[in-house]
């Protein structure tokens, strides 16, 4: 995720970063400019259409459709941001619950060996979840020190929660934990897979395909018909105007596409790996 100063206006205006939509749209913007220039040339120089031509009235359609497309884009960006923010809340809950579990275990457990076990497994869950959500390979080194083989297991975070649960009940059988102790730490233990499931729900349930395709087609045909009407009033100035309108509309759609899946490696995705490293530092300090 990009770190920035929200008060630095001039840096936003004049600096282009890797995730800037202008870079991604530049080839299409050039094509839109050429297309608009051709339409303007044909209407002004070749066909020599007058200002009274009926094509001038197409701007009425653009005025009505502009309101509709703005509503669709507002809904689109809000929906995408809700998914991004929901992912951030889930990882915030993971940070808090990992700390809470570590604090409780530090007060309950007396033997250093038991504390070391959870000092390794709790942060390992956050690291495994981050990689799991990115569909990246999870190193077996996370599990080798616990003497378990997960090579044939597809869901690695499940295995870590299973491992911690087995350890807790083993401590209970050794009379190192009481029933009250297990009830005391149960909310944090169950929250791990609840958070994992919520993140998987966001990751595996994209915006409906038909809605996304319709919006892209709407933007495309809206922009493609703009030059026909605006040439009569703007002449060749229609070229920069149409380019700017396309840039604004397409940029909103691109931004929504990027943030609706917040667990990838894009510039604006959640820094889950960094949060996992912070969890590790916190747990090592507590335990």
| Domain spans of the chain, in order of start | 23-45+56-84+206-259, 93-205+272-286
Kindly state the average pLDDT of the residues 118-140.
90
Angstrom distance (rounded) from CA 64 to CA 61: 5
pLDDT at 37 over 80: yes
The CA-to-CA distance between both ends of the chain, in Å, stands at 29
The residue with tokens 């350890």 is: 167
The residue with tokens 């409780």 is: 104
- Closest-CA residue to 270 (of 203, 187, 197, 191): 203
Kindly state the average pLDDT of the residues 125-148.
81
Residue 4: pLDDT band (50, 70, 90) is low
Q: Which residues contact 160 (CB under 8 A, 6 or more apart)?
A: 121, 124, 125, 128, 142, 143
Ranked by mean pLDDT, the top range of 41-45, 66-70, 197-201 is 197-201
274 neighbors 93 (Cβ within 8 angstroms)? no
Angstrom distance (rounded) from CA 9 to CA 224: 32
pLDDT at 195 over 70: yes
Residue 5: pLDDT band (50, 70, 90) is low
pLDDT at 143 over 80: no
């Amino acid at each position: 995720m990009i770190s920035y100063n929200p008060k630095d206006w001039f840096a936003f205006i004049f600096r282009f970063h890797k995730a800037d939509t202008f870079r991604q749209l530049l080839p299409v913007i050039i094509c839109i400019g050429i297309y608009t220039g051709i339409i303007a040339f044909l209407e002004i120089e070749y066909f020599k259409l007058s200002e009274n031509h009926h094509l001038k009235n197409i701007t009425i359609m653009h005025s009505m459709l502009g309101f509709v497309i703005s509503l669709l884009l507002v809904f689109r960006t809000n929906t995408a941001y809700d998914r991004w923010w929901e992912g951030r809340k889930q990882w915030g809950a993971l940070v808090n619950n990992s700390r809470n579990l570590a604090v409780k275990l530090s007060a309950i457990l007396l033997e250093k060996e038991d504390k070391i076990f959870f000092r390794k497994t709790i942060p390992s869950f956050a690291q495994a979840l981050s990689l799991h959500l990115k569909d990246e390979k999870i190193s077996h080194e996370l599990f080798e020190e616990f003497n378990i083989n997960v090579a044939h297991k597809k869901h690695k975070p499940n295995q870590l929660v299973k491992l911690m649960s087995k350890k807790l009940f083993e401590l209970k059988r050794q009379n190192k934990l009481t029933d009250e102790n297990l009830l005391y730490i149960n909310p944090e233990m169950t929250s791990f897979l609840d958070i994992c499931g919520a993140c998987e729900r966001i990751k595996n349930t994209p915006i409906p395909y038909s809605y996304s395709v319709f919006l892209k087609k709407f933007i495309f045909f809206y922009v493609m018909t703009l030059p026909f009407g605006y040439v009569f009033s703007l002449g060749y100035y229609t070229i920069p105007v149409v380019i700017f309108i396309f840039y604004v509309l397409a940029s909103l759609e691109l931004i929504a596409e990027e943030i609706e899946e917040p667990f990838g490696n894009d510039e604006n995705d959640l820094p889950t790996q960094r949060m996992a490293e912070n969890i590790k530092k916190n747990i090592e300090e507590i335990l």
